[in-house]
């Protein structure tokens, strides 16, 4: 079959949302048929007591729980393989992740490797990895986010850092999408403002990139439905989810960062993360995320405030947002009215090519986020390596509304220094 694409798909994780919803985690796992679950979390979330609360709710339903609390913030190939090995030895028939995107992505990959054994790199997106596709659905996965950011509870993607290649990449397939999400805004009360800022800026970028991706009809129709990419381009249904997430980001992110007890604002950002996840899970993300992977992968010098880790890293939301003003200035000419609409959803009423970049800079400034790549230790000399890393993210760049050349990527990165 040839010609322009005429089909798009939007799939969504079933979501249970609201204060106290986390106490129904055991009921959800029992409904999914799980008898022995691996609870995947990180040390910070465990210290906050969230993992124990979930464990209690699960065990109350007669389900055995094995705990893996060794999630690496910003997972690496090595940390994901370690989690998969632990899950295999634990002989579990289901997963429950409690934490941010790192915990959820770690659970996704552990589930993948236990369900369909192979080295992790076999499944990593090409050209970095082998691009292998899981042949059938995975074991049940209940995702419980504790940060208002990645939307990983609603997506088909797991992101990882590969230090020896000095790049980040991902695994992407519809079978990685969790079977159920429980989104409880009360879990965000323990988060420092800096973490909320980074996570919330990731929500905004997910939604903006999705809304501004090139239309799904601009792709060539695949020969088989199996070849239709997870990231298909903007479409009328994904636009609805992305637009509401942008509205929440403009209305609530500043408040969510400023006050840990503002459950309305933090809850709206939690819900916004899920909505954006559904949107970009269909439409996709592009230039800011393609640039973010090498920004996070090439250097590990930055020590972010608010994150209880003993290693340097660039939080994902910060690595994404820093190039977004320059990236959207570059893509503006492809769809001026859509760019201006995104700016208006963020509460910025201006028009023209700088409307959206200005809206994003104001949001970054107001939540105290670094506004330049230089803050992470990069200089002009690093631009060629950053361009090389971004170019490897072909699955993202192909859905940009204006596809960038290497010179364009270099110009975006230099403008963001």
Q: What are phi and psi of 226, to 5 degrees?
A: -65, -20
pLDDT at 258 over 70: yes
Instruction: Supply the pLDDT for residue 2.
Output: 65
pLDDT for the residue numbered 199 = 95
Judge if pTM exceeds 0.85.
yes
Tell me, what's the pLDDT at 149? 81
- DSSP secondary structure letters along 260-279: TT-HHHHHHHHHHHHHHHHH
- 219 confidence band (pLDDT: 50, 70, 90): very high
Tokens, residue 1 = 């079959």
Query: Using DSSP, how many helices (H) and how many strands (E) does the chain show?
Result: 16, 8
Look at residue 95 and tell me whether its pLDDT is greater than 60: yes
For residues 272 and 209, what is the distance between their CA atoms, to the nearest angstrom?
14
Residues 342, 224: Cα–Cα separation, whole Å: 34
Q: What integer is the mean pLDDT of 171-198?
A: 94
Rounded average pLDDT over 65-73 = 95
Q: Which pLDDT does position 268 carry in this prediction?
A: 96
- End-to-end CA distance of the chain: give it in Å, rounded: 45
Average pLDDT over residues 349-367: 97
pLDDT confidence of residue 186: 93
Beta strands 180-183 and 141-145 are parallel
Domain ranges of the chain: 21-183, 191-415
pLDDT at 226 over 90: no
Residue-wise pLDDT for 280-297, tens only, equals: 999 999 999 999 999 998
Structure confidence at residue 310 (pLDDT): 72
Backbone angles phi, psi at 160, to 5 degrees: -140, 155
Average pLDDT along the chain: 95
The arithmetic mean of pLDDT across residues 208-230, rounded, is: 94
pLDDT at 309 (0 to 100): 73
Name the strand (E) or helix (H) holding 40.
Answer: strand 36-40
Residue 9 in this model has a pLDDT that exceeds 60: yes
Fold classification of 21-183 (topology level): Rossmann fold (3.40.50)
Segment 168-183 mean pLDDT: 93
Confidence tier at 367 by pLDDT (50, 70, 90): very high
pLDDT, mean of residues 119-135: 92
pLDDT, one tens digit per residue, over 293-348 is 999 989 989 999 988 777 899 999 999 999 999 999 999 999 999 999 999 999 99
**Predicted pLDDT of residue 126:** 87
Handedness of CA 268, 275, 178, 198 (dihedral sign): negative
What Cα–Cα distance (Å) separates residue 376 from each residue in 11, 262, 281, 322, 415? 36, 30, 28, 10, 15
Whether the pLDDT of residue 233 is over 90: the answer is: yes
To the nearest whole percent, how much of the chain has pLDDT over 90? 88
Structure tokens at 181: 């999400």
Percent of the chain having pLDDT more than 70? 100
Q: Which CATH superfamily is domain 191-415 in?
A: Dehydroquinate synthase-like - alpha domain (1.20.1090.10)
């Amino acid at each position: 079959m040839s010609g322009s694409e005429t089909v798009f798909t939007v799939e969504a994780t079933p979501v249970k949302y609201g204060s106290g919803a986390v106490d129904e985690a055991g009921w959800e796992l029992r409904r999914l048929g799980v008898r022995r679950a691996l609870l995947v979390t990180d040390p910070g979330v465990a210290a906050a007591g969230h993992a124990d609360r979930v464990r209690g709710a699960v065990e109350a339903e007669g389900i055995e729980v094995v705990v893996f609390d060794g999630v690496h913030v910003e997972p690496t190939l090595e940390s994901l393989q370690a989690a998969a090995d632990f899950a295999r030895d634990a002989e579990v028939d289901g997963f429950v992740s409690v934490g941010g995107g790192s915990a959820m992505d770690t659970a996704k990959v552990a589930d993948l490797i236990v369900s369909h054994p192979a080295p992790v790199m076999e499944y990593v997106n090409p050209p970095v990895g082998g691009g292998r596709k899981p042949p059938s659905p995975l074991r049940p996965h209940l995702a419980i986010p504790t940060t208002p950011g990645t939307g990983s509870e609603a997506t088909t993607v797991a992101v990882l850092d590969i230090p020896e290649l000095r790049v980040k990449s991902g695994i992407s397939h519809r079978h990685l999408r969790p079977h159920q999400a429980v989104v409880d805004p009360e879990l965000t009360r323990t988060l420092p403002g800096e973490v909320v800022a980074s996570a919330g800026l990731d929500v905004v970028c997910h939604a903006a990139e999705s809304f501004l991706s090139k239309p799904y009809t601009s792709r060539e129709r695949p020969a088989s439905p199996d070849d239709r990419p997870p990231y298909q381009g903007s479409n009328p249904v994904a636009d609805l989810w992305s637009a509401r997430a942008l509205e929440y980001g403009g209305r609530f992110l500043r408040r969510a960062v400023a006050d840990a007890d503002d459950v309305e604002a933090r809850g709206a950002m939690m819900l916004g993360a899920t909505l954006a996840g559904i949107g970009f899970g269909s439409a996709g993300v592009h230039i800011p995320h393609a640039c973010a992977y090498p920004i996070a992968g090439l250097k590990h010098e930055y020590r972010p405030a608010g994150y209880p880790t003993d290693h340097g890293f660039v939080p994902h939301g910060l690595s994404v947002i820093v190039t977004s003003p320059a990236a959207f200035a570059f893509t503006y000419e492809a769809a001026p009215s859509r760019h201006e609409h995104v700016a208006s959803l963020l509460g910025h009423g201006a028009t023209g090519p700088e409307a959206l970049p200005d809206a994003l800079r104001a949001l970054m400034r107001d939540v105290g986020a670094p506004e330049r790549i230089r803050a992470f230790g990069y200089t002009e000399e690093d631009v060629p390596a950053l361009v090389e890393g971004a170019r490897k993210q072909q699955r993202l760049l192909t859905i940009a509304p204006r596809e960038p050349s290497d010179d364009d990527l270099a110009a975006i990165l230099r403008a963001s220094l």
